[in-house]
Structure 1
């Protein structure tokens, strides 16, 4: 599956504990990454400062679904399940 440009769900729903340029302590779940622009595109895509967790994420139909809203919902649920299991 190819990433849907402008979705941004993976830059909003999950928490990221590694530093992000402009967010040295990472970001909490549900908070827009500071590197997500107004069109929901990553400003540091392909750059060395982009966290590995971001670069390693691969879109998948089971996670991303068929719409941006589904992707945000699924990723939000997965994040919540991770917190409960942790």
Structure 2
């Protein structure tokens, strides 16, 4: 499945332990990534400084559901379970 432009759930819900430009210690679950713009688009998309964990993320129906709201809920649930 293709990532929904402007969703941003994967840049908000999960914790990221690897450094992100502007966030050298990564980010906590539920914290908005500093690299997520006002349109919920990654400012680092296609840039080599984008963390590997971000570029390796693959949008799937079981993780992202069918709406942005479902994606935020599902990714938050997965984060809490791990």
User: Using the alignment, how far apart are the partners of 1:62 and 1:79 within structure 2?
Assistant: 14
| Corresponding position of 1:63 | 63
**Alpha-carbon RMSD:** 0.3
User: Using the alignment, how far apart are the partners of 1:15 and 1:40 within structure 2?
Assistant: 17
Gaps of 5+ in 2: none
| Corresponding position of 2:16 | 16
TM-score (norm 2): 0.99
Give the number of aligned pairs. Answer: 82
Shift of 1:52: 0.3
Structure 1 residue ranges, 4+ long, deviating more than 4 angstroms after superposition? none
TM-score (norm 1): 0.94
- What are the equivalent positions in structure 2 for 1:1-86 lying under 5 Å apart? 1-82=1-82
Gaps of 5+ in 1: none
